[in-house]
Amino acid sequence: QVQLRESGPGLVKTSETLSLTCGVSGYSISSGYCWGWVRQPPGKGLEWIGDICQSGTTYYSPSLKSRVTISADTSKNHFSLRLSSVTAADTAVYYCSRLLRYFAYFPPAEYFQHWGRGTLVTVSS
Amino acid sequence: QSVLTQPPSVSGAPGQRVTISCTGSSSNIGAGYDVYWYQHLPGTAPKLLLYGNSNRPSGVPDRFSGTKSGTSASLAITGLQAEDEAYYYCQSYDTSLSGSLVFGGGTKLTVL
């Protein structure tokens, strides 16, 4: 059974870089699928941040693309999120997820199969 | 403001049937992209409920069903149970702004 677990600082200073890691167990991230991040600001809905696929291809939300980097370390079976120049608007619960992206037919399949429990990151000066 | 629109809340008594709508536009659901549904209890990992508009992953009861038509989709829950009280989110793909995975704002289901 695939399990994902987020880890990282719960408090980040304004203008600095938010860094989170997602540890994966039960599946090797080098074997397939895409691995990504979703966040939920307090009192708001879910927002896709981006993901990295086994092929190395990355997908980023257009609204966050200039500040986001997602990378994977297959030797440690984990993947990471870096979000630069954070502000209070980046305060959120951050979830990591395994995505299926399948483009052989239309419509393509692009969705979140497994999720972590999330970690709250607060941005404050 | 979410790209996909859901009602903020719905409610129903145990045993009843409820539906949750998800309204999109011609750049997402109306363009033919599939809709996915997730169940989320705060503090826990969200759970995939339906994929490809109406398909249930292994372990999801057949009380949960989904439909899609035009620019909208719906999640139906029959035989409502107390354990169904949660937030429900729809998700699709949107072709505007260079393409993006998009969610609805979420619907809180209360079992009376």
Q: Which of residues 8-37 of B touch A (CB under 8 A)?
A: 32-34, 36
Contact A45 B101 (CB under 8 A): no
Given a cut of 90, is residue B1 above it in pLDDT?
A: no
Max Cα-Cα span within chain A: 48
Tokens read off for B5: 């629109």
Chain A: closest CA distance from residue B47 (Å): 7
pLDDT score for B68 = 97
Given a cut of 80, is residue B98 above it in pLDDT?
A: no
Chain A: closest CA distance from residue B82 (Å): 22
Return the bridge partners of A38, or none.
A48, A95
Mean pLDDT along residues A17-42: 96
Contact A111 B48 (CB under 8 A): yes
A-B contacts (CB, under 8 Å): 63
Mean pLDDT for chain A overall: 95
Which residues of chain A are at the B interface, by a Cβ-Cβ cutoff of 8 Å? 4, 44-48, 61-63, 95, 106-118
State whether residue A66 is helix, strand or coil.
Answer: coil
Name the residue among B27, B102, B112, B29 with its Cα closest to residue B66: B29
Chain A: closest CA distance from residue B57 (Å): 9
pLDDT score for A98 = 97
pLDDT score for B112 = 93
Q: Is B45 on the interface with A (CB under 8 A)?
A: yes
Whole-Å CA distances, A93 to A98, B15, B28, B33: 17, 33, 26, 27
User: pLDDT class for B43, splitting at 50, 70, 90?
Assistant: confident
The DSSP secondary-structure symbol of B4 reads B
Given the structure tokens 């607060």, which residue do they identify? A122
Contact B47 A115 (CB under 8 A): yes
pLDDT in tens, A63-108: 999 999 999 999 999 999 999 999 999 999 999 999 999 887 888 8
Contact A50, A38 (CB under 8 A): no
Which of A62, A112, A116 is closest, CB to CB, to B48?
Answer: A112
Given the structure tokens 């497994």, which residue do they identify? A114
State whether residue A70 is helix, strand or coil.
Answer: strand
Given a cut of 90, is residue A18 above it in pLDDT?
A: yes
Comparing A29-38, B54-63, B92-101, which segment has the lowest mean pLDDT?
B92-101
Q: How far apart are CA B98 and CA A69, in angstroms?
A: 17
pLDDT score for A57 = 94
Comparing A67-76, A104-113, B58-67, which segment has the lowest mean pLDDT?
A104-113
User: pLDDT class for B2, splitting at 50, 70, 90?
Assistant: confident
Mean pLDDT along residues B81-87: 96
Query: Which one of B88, B100, B107, B108 makes the best mutation probe of the A interface by having the most chain A beta carbons within 10 Å?
Result: B100
Contact A107 B36 (CB under 8 A): no
